Amino acid sequence: MIYELVVGLETHVELSTKSKIFCGCTTAFKGEPNTHCCPICIGLPGTMPRLNEGVVQYAVAAGLALNCKIAEFSKMDRKNYVYPDLPKAYQISQHDKPLCYEGHVLLSNGRKIGIERIHIEEDAGKLIHQGGATFIDYNRGGVPLIEIVSKPDFRDVEEVVEYLELLQLTMRYIEVSDCKMQEGSLRCDVNVSVMPKGSSKFGIRTEIKNMNSFNNIRKAVQYEMNRQIDILESGGAVTQQTMRYMADVGVTEPMRGKEDAHDYRYFKEPDLVNIYVSKEQVECIASKMPELFSSKLNRYVNEYRIPLEDARLLAEYKNVAKFFEDSVKCARSEQSYKNCANLILSVIFSKFNSEEEKEIFNISVSSEEMFKLLSLQEEKKISNNMAKKTLEKMLETGSKVFDIISEADLQGVSEDRLLEICNLALNENEKAAKDYASGKDRAIKSLIGFVMKQTKGRADAALAERILKDIIAERKF
């Protein structure tokens, strides 16, 4: 029998507020254990929580970015469970009246993944297992979260990963979270089941908890799907369980039986008032929203005519996108857009060693100086090669364009002089000329390299290539 994968995701995103959801404690990452907490966030008797208004605003922004409806009325609830990471034995969350609902994310294959709800809640503390003992750090307890609950619409592992990458980019773009998976500010619970191909009845699901790596999510879903299929093919039945993924051996293993909503005995949080969000407040938040990644990507491809993969790399990092757009806002041709993209992706990105450095995008070149460099390229006053070398020097020294490029550089190389140098290149590199003539296309690169060296990078490489090919054809090497 052929089986079909069914996946639903519960994605937890830590919000970038400076203080926690119900108290004034800092949300800063790290810190000595149990130093970022107070009687409220560890739930001592007699304490009273107070909802952080910024949490609601961030959650509404996330809902708008994911095409959700915003509830005019919502409330907080107690989710009861006994576990050491929550000393008060309940989590303040939202149950039947979430803040955002009925949204969607559009994937590159055209499929629409439904967002069932987005609700706000507090994070729990962190358990640290060492040498047979368990330690508890409550610094993270009370950090504000949004939980983005998808519908079980995924039918392919790569759809899962693409959706999560889009969520991460979107949350970063609207600046509600840094979504650093390595720091736990984006974590995912993955619900996996299988059903016979063509069926409309879902199988029994398992939940893989606290995944914080796209690569591990991909591996865990694939493994769990195969595990469930093996059970069914052997005549067994899948058990509803909460699982953990053991990355070192690449398998999932049971943690406990999977709870249902009624197991948590939800009831309205008595210490917090209801939440009311007016249409005017929603409109105010919407008016401050930036252009989102998906919209920017489409604009770069359709308006600037930049290849999709290049456009994705530019749009992926908000500060890179701003530098690119500021640099080309006065450009007069599509070629300048492409030149700018090429310089950023080839020269500037080569200076960065991590994704975080690309996100920060701290460089010594202003967009005004970048535009001057692009203008010289556009006017054919400098070659593409010289533009790259000039930008490299600007990045290294902080110099401006005309501190590096001289009047002699701007004169370029005349066609007559270029013809002489191309003939010289062929005379002194006859083997490369014969290799090209015999069908080894890459041999032309060494000839172009000779020309660029002779002209100190001032020649037009594309024109030099054309002249070299013409001469080779005439001479019949």
Residues 38, 63: one domain?
yes
Residue 226 and residue 145 share a domain: yes
pLDDT of res. 261 = 65
Cα 239 to its chain centre, rounded Å, is 34
pLDDT at position 203 is: 94
Q: What is the pLDDT of residue 177?
A: 95
pLDDT at 257: 67
Token pair 């001479």 is found at 475
Predicted pLDDT at 264: 85
Same domain for 155 and 191: yes
Is residue 318 pLDDT above 80, yes or no? yes
pLDDT value at residue 304: 92
CA quadruple 35, 39, 41, 44: dihedral sign? positive
Number of domains in the chain: 3
Q: How far apart are the first and last CA of the chain?
A: 63
Model confidence pLDDT, tens digit, residues 240-285: 999 999 999 999 999 876 666 678 899 999 999 999 999 999 999 9
CA 379 to chain CA mean position, Å: 36
**Residue where a domain terminates, one of 411, 439, 466:** 411
pTM of the model: 0.82
Q: What is the pLDDT of residue 260?
A: 67
Segment 209-217 shows an average pLDDT of 92
Domain end call among 411, 445, 460: 411
Instruction: Give the pLDDT band (50/70/90) at residue 92.
Output: very high
Q: Which residue has the higher pLDDT, 253 or 477?
A: 253
Residues 169 and 150 in one domain: yes
**pLDDT value at residue 112:** 96
> 27: exposed, middle or buried (C-beta count within 10 Å: 0-12, 13-18, 19+)?
buried
* Domain identity same for 256 and 129: yes
| Same domain? 188 vs 66 | yes
In CATH, what number is assigned to the domain containing residue 439? 1.10.10.410
Is residue 301 classed as helix, strand or coil in its secondary structure? helix
**What pLDDT, in 10s, does the model give residues 143-157?**
999 999 999 999 999
Across 211-218, average pLDDT: 93
d(CA 352, CA 344): 11
Are 247 and 366 within one domain?
no
The least confident of 55-69, 163-177, 439-453 is 439-453
Q: Which residue has the higher pLDDT, 11 or 452?
A: 11
Percent of the chain with pLDDT over 90: 70
Cα(221)–Cα(242) distance, integer angstroms? 14
> What would the pLDDT profile of 394-441 be if each residue is shown by its tens digit?
999 999 999 888 755 665 666 778 888 888 888 888 888 888 888 888
- Do 179 and 267 lie in one domain? The reply is yes
Q: What is the mean pLDDT of the chain?
A: 91
pLDDT at 435: 83
pLDDT band at 15, cuts 50/70/90?
very high
Report residue 83's pLDDT band, with 50, 70 and 90 as the boundaries.
confident
Looking at residues 163-179, what average pLDDT do you find?
95
**Confidence bin at 456 (pLDDT 50/70/90):** confident
User: Of 129 and 8, which is predicted with more confidence?
Assistant: 8
The whole-angstrom separation of Cα 447 and Cα 172 is 46
| Residues near 127 by beta carbon (within 8 Å), at least 6 away in sequence | 84, 85, 134, 135, 136
Q: How confident is the model over 65-83, as a mean pLDDT?
A: 95
Give yes or no: residues 92 and 228 share one domain.
Answer: yes
Q: What is the pLDDT of residue 365?
A: 95
Amino acid (1-letter code) at residue 445 = K
Cα separations in angstroms, 27 against 17, 246, 356, 406, 462: 7, 29, 20, 52, 55
38 and 147 share one domain: yes
pLDDT at 334: 87
The domain in which residue 348 lies consists of 291-411
Q: 87 with 38, same domain?
A: yes
**232 and 322 assigned to the same domain:** no
* DSSP-derived secondary structure letter, 350: G
Using the 3D structure, point to which of 370, 388, 411 is the last residue of a domain. 411
Torsion region of 331: left, alpha or beta (phi above 0 gives left; psi -120 to 50 gives alpha): beta
State yes or no: pLDDT of 290 exceeds 90.
Answer: yes
Rounded to an integer, the average pLDDT of 212-235 is: 95
**DSSP-derived pairing of the beta strands 77-80 and 90-93:** antiparallel
User: How high is the pLDDT of residue 440?
Assistant: 85
